[in-house]
C-alpha cells in the first residue's frame, strides 16, 4: 500500500504524462519533484508535501479541484487551487497580475513557500537557458523581460512579507539579482 505522498507522486506522474518542462526538455514531473524536494527540506507535514507535488495539476492537466479534493482532501485541494493561475485569463501578464492580487492576501506560509519553490525552480531553468541563448530566450517565453522581472520581484516581496523560509528566500533573491539586477525591496 502506498503512502499518501507516494500516491501523490504516482497521481502527478500519470497526470503529467506527455507534458514537458519548458527550457529543459524533460518530463514535467521533474519540475514537481524539484519543488517537492525544496519543500521537503523545510517541512515534513504530509499535506504540504502533497500540495508541493501537485501544485501544477490544476494549471497543466485535465484534473481539477474536485479530483484532488476527493483523492487528497480539502486542505490539499485548497492549497493547489491557491497556487493555480486563472486559465480563463488568456493574456500572460493579466493572468500573473491576478495571481499576484490573490497571493498577496494569502497568509498561509505553506502556500507561500510552495509558490517560492515553484518560482525558484522556474527561474533556475530560465536563467540557465538565458546563459546559453541570451536575450533570444524572450522570444520563446511568455511575457517580456520587464514583465518577468516585475512578476518575479513581486513573488519575492510577497514571500518576504509573509516570512517565507529564509533559505528559499536567500537563494531566490540571489538568483533574482543575478538574472534581473538589483532592486528595491
CB atoms within 10 A of CB 163: 12
pLDDT at 175 over 90: yes
pLDDT at 23 over 80: no
pLDDT at 185 over 80: no
Between CA 124 and CA 3 the distance in angstroms is 30
Q: What is the pLDDT of residues 105-126, one digit of tens each?
A: 999 999 999 999 999 999 999 9
Nearest CA among 76, 62, 63 for reference residue 5: 76
Average pLDDT over residues 60-80: 97
Question: What kind of fold does domain 4-180 have according to CATH?
Answer: Hypothetical protein af1432 (1.10.3210)
**Residue 26 pairs with which residues in a beta bridge?**
21
Average pLDDT over residues 29-36: 97
Nearest CA among 174, 179, 104 for reference residue 149: 179
What is the predicted pLDDT for the residue at 115? 98
pLDDT at 66 over 90: yes
What is the predicted pLDDT for the residue at 99? 97
Between CA 176 and CA 25 the distance in angstroms is 23
DSSP class per residue in the chain:
---HHHHHHHHHHHHTTT-EETTTTEETHHHHHHHHHHHHTT---HHHHHHHHHTTHHHHSS--HHHHHHHH-HHHHHHHHHTS--TT--SHHHHHHHHHHHHHT---HHHHHHHHHHHHHHHHHHHHHHHHHGGGGGGSSSS-HHHHHHHHHHHHHHHHHTT--HHHHHHHHHHHHHHH-----
Between CA 99 and CA 58 the distance in angstroms is 14
What are the extents of the domains in the chain? 4-180
pLDDT at 19 over 80: yes
Amino acid at each position: 500500500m502506498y503512502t499518501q505522498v507516494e500516491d501523490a507522486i504516482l497521481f502527478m506522474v500519470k497526470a503529467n504524462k506527455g507534458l514537458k518542462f519548458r527550457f529543459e526538455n524533460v518530463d514535467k514531473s521533474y519540475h514537481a519533484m524539484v519543488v517537492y524536494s525544496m519543500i521537503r527540506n523545510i517541512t515534513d507535514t504530509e499535506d504540504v508535501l502533497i500540495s508541493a507535488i501537485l501544485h501544477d495539476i490544476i494549471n497543466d492537466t485535465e484534473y481539477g479541484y474536485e479530483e484532488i479534493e476527493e483523492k487528497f482532501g480539502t486542505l490539499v485541494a485548497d492549497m493547489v487551487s491557491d497556487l493555480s493561475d486563472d486559465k480563463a485569463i488568456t493574456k500572460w501578464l493579466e493572468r500573473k497580475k491576478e495571481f499576484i492580487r490573490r497571493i498577496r492576501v494569502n497568509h498561509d506560509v505553506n502556500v507561500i513557500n510552495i509558490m517560492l519553490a515553484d518560482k525558484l525552480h522556474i527561474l533556475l531553468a530560465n536563467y540557465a537557458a538565458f546563459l546559453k541563448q541570451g536575450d533570444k530566450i524572450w522570444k520563446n517565453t511568455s511575457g517580456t523581460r520587464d514583465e518577468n522581472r516585475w512578476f518575479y520581484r513581486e513573488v519575492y516581496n510577497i514571500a518576504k512579507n509573509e516570512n517565507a523560509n529564509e533559505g528559499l528566500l536567500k537563494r531566490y533573491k540571489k538568483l533574482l539579482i543575478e538574472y534581473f539586477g538589483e532592486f528595491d525591496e
